[in-house]
Amino acid sequence: MTYVLDFAEIDRSLTTRVGGKGANLGELSRIEGVRVPGGFCVTTEAFRRVLAQAPSLADRIDELDSPAPDDLAAIAAISAGIRCVIAESTVPDDIASAIANAYARLGSNTACAVRSSATAEDLPGASFAGQQDSYLNVTGVQAILTHISRCWSSLFTDRAIIYRRRDGFDHKAIDMAVVVQRMVFPQAAGVLVTADPLTSNRKVVSVDAGFGLGESLVSGIVNADVYRVRGGVITDKSVATKKLAVEADPAGGTRVRDIESERRHRQVLADAQILRLAELGRTVEAHFGSPQDIEWCLDDTDFHVLQARPITTLFPIPEAPDAANRVYISVGHQQMMTDAMKPLGLSVWQLTSPAPMRHAGGRLFVDVTARLSSPAARAALVTGFTSSEPLLGDALRTIVEREFIATVPDENPGAPTGQAAAPIDADPELVAELIADNEASVAGLERTIGDESGTALVDFIASDIGELRRVLFNSRSSQVIRAGMEAAAWLREHMRMWLGDKNAADALARAVSGNVTAEMGPALLDVADVIRPHADVVAYLRRVQDSEVEGDDFLDELAQLPGGGDARAAFEGFLARYGMRCVGEIDITRPRWSERPTAVVPPLLADIDNFTHGAGRRQFADGLRAAEQAATDVLERVRALPDGERKAAETRAMIDRVRTFAGYREYPKYGMVSRYFIYKKALLGEAGRLVRDGVLDDPEDIFYLRFDELREVVRTRSVDAGLLRERKADFRRYQALTAPRVLTSDGEAIIGSYRRADLPAGALPGMPVSAGTVEGRARVVSDIAHADLTAGDILVTACTDPSWTPLFVAIAGLVTEVGGLMTHGAVIAREYGLPAVVAVENATRRIRDGQRIRVHGTDGYVEILPAP
């Protein structure tokens, strides 16, 4: 058994024995031109042996998953007990002897840094930075042994336990090694990252530097100089006022001292040193093959690298066929689904869409490089997004201004970019025909898919996706959708020009016919009407909401209650029409309402509590009357204008188009998710057969395979278990990342801005998508399952998709972080007459739950009101 390894004996293959930090130091020691202070690692074998001396520890560690994640007191109590047992354990003599011998090789009474090195630390998928303990300026064998024991104990600090639970790590699967490294007493120290920490640009190196030990920067007690380098050129320098420094204490450990006044404003590193350090960072990055977070120090002779870890918070860059500059637009921001998707979901969506998509970080992106290279297409792209999603449009404008994408002259400058389709008149029969075609196609799929299995099933679905694309991208369907959107745009533009009315089109779009998504709200109100009179059923649903009832077969139990039969029938009727929907429905792997009907319970209870019988019909009737009155008022005002009769006739035609065609826009997606659910049920049936054959452990393992990979697994009846484990770990990591709206091939997340000077002080700018002003209590909701809304509340959330529609009947206004003029929240807000502002950056963090806010849906901003 080997308890100690010198750095020279270590490489990255030994992570399970020396932990992430130890393995990285071994690798760093092998890089030519990189100076690493000498040292050794106490291996995980030593840690496991010490734990084995205390059999009670196993039971205590098992207890760590018992408390609720937010029960910090319980976690702290168990943590303290574990650490106490480890601290009181004696280091076995042979381990102590091996450590003493390794320490002696560094030199008698050498001052060392003693650092924790967990096996899940400083890894590509998880850095665990700062989760375990480190100690500086430790001298003498006995002190080294004492601090090694403290490092072992730090695997079970409160913060480390909570971090592992959050990221799904098994406490018993992680071991602790300890790094003992010769101390350097530097003039300066700091941190270097080989990607810009603000923008994630991989071409930028950012250096933080301070006088003395780097501990002053890590602990945040001093301000650091910040330097940025790109392409061997210093592009930015921020020289801080540095009043304090951390230095070694002759008695051991460290101390804080005042910096002499004449040095406080001095640049820590000379320009030549900054460039030398940036070059060193690129050398380290090249060795590890990914952006690195590097701790460094400078003594009288040169720079030393103290440790390096991969930067795990960067959003990955989509793979490209070449090294040319590229620009990607997030698909999720268009689809109101910014969460990470599993591989099967990504690949099915890619098969569905004709757009040139690439994936990264569990998200999909459209490569718009070619369009940005063309002067004509570029102008149309930027102008279009500036109108529909201003933040995205501004981000694209920033890229154009930088000349990031080389211009390729258009072959026929000034030529029209495409043949505009002739406008169509309002024709309800055309809409009915399109819906009938969609419904017949879905019904045909449902009739025939049950006959297929094995590879024939996968091939059948691949073929049917072609039929899905035919229905989705039917030219007549696209013409109807475009006609509704263009008519609404015409009304907005002309009513602003003729009448000075910014949002006349919003009132005219209320209660349009055939909006299958908007109809969900009144449909759930009808279910509430059936259930509301039955107190036992309502009480049972409250227990379901409070998780007192386990499982999604609760409808069986519901039926046994007085009134439960009618309640179940109403519930199942709703699911028959909308059960294929769910949060993030564009991802085929997401659980549908029919699979998890408890997801519908929170909005159903809100409807029961906040409304009286017949509210669904009343809401639609009220919206219809309001729209008709708005049309009458607008036409009357237009007729009073010069040439009023002609203008009124045009306006009437546009109103008719909006009211005939606008509702249909939601139907193609409804048909798509209906199809997705049929595919999913069939594929899970095949996955069940793979489980019975011992190929898979769980039917849902197929979600971590791309569609073509799934076919191969079905064909060969074998799967790469390591690939599944890797994909699951990747997905957990991707869930913690925030997808950018716009991403470049340099890895830079381009963040647009509104560039507005017309806002009240402190107002949060956004995009106006539904007219009106409303004041009320903000309810910040991250998960529809935990929505607790009462009538008059204002919903504040990251984004909404069709599954959020049932909540809209109870709210008075809407604020989202993501969205545009024609995205879900905007469309439904206009349908229900709710003031709404979307694309409000960081709204869920800047607005606190329960605060009173005022939403200006006409002018596009939100005010946070002072507490009464």
Catalytic residue positions, numbered: 824
Residue 301 burial (10 A CB sphere; 0-12, 13-18, 19+)? exposed
- As a three-state string, the secondary structure of 440-460 is HHHHHHHHHHHHCCHHHHHHH
**Whole-number Å distance between alpha carbons of 728 and 748:** 26
Beta-carbon neighbour count of residue 331 at 10 Å?
24
Cα angle 415-421-427, degrees, rounded to a multiple of 5? 165
**Token representation of residue 586:** 């564009």
DSSP notation for 154-215? GGGSHHHHHHHHHHT--GGG--EEEEEEE----SEEEEEESS-TTT--TTEEEEEEEEB-TH
Alpha-carbon Rg of the chain, whole angstroms?
Answer: 31
Largest separation between any pair of C-alpha atoms in the chain: 102
Neighbours of 750 (CB within 10 A): 22
| Burial call 117-137: b when 16+ CB within 10 Å, e when fewer | bbbbbbbeebbbbebbbbbbb
**Selection from 38, 184, 24 nearest residue 103 by Cα:** 38
The answer to whether the beta carbons of residues 238 and 269 sit under 8 Å apart is no
> What span, in angstroms and rounded, lies between the C-alpha atoms of 341 and 735?
9
Residues with Cβ < 8 Å from 717, sequence gap 6 or more?
690, 693, 695
* Eight-class DSSP state of 740: P
The answer to whether 227 touches 276, Cβ cutoff 8 Å, is no
Task: Give yes or no for a contact between 223 and 242, defined as CB atoms under 8 angstroms apart.
Answer: yes
The DSSP 8-state label assigned to residue 501 in this structure reads: -
Residue 491 in tokens: 């009304």
Q: For residues 308 and 193, is the Cβ–Cβ distance under 8 A?
A: no
Edge to edge, the sheet with strand 176-182 lists 4-6, 39-42, 176-182, 112-118, 134-138
Which residues are CB-contacts of 225 (< 8 A; sequence separation ≥ 6)? 207, 208, 209, 210, 237, 238, 239, 240, 242, 267, 268, 269
Angle ∠(121,123,129) on CA atoms, nearest 5:
45
Q: Are 574 and 527 in contact (CB under 8 A)?
A: yes
3-class SS letters over 90-106: CCCHHHHHHHHHHHHHH
How far apart are alpha carbons 822 and 843 in whole angstroms?
Answer: 20
Pairing of strands 303-310, 204-211: unpaired
- Which residues is 848 bridged to in the sheet? none
Return the bridge partners of 182, or none. 112
Closest CA to 793 of 559, 609, 655: 609
Please give the backbone phi and psi of residue 69, each rounded to the nearest 5 degrees, phi first: -55, -30
Q: How many CB atoms lie within 10 A of CB 832?
A: 22
* Residue 821: strand, helix, or coil: coil
State CA 834 to chain mean position distance.
27
Report how far residue 745's alpha carbon sits from residue 819's, in angstroms, rounded to the nearest whole number: 24
DSSP-derived letter for residue 259 is: P
Q: Which residue from 711, 721, 760 is spatially nearest to 863, judged by alpha carbons?
A: 760
In whole angstroms, give the CA distance from residue 824 to residue 836: 12
Instruction: Tell me which residue of 286, 335, 327 sits closest to 308, measured CA to CA.
Output: 286
Kind of pairing between the strands at 363-367 and 749-750: unpaired
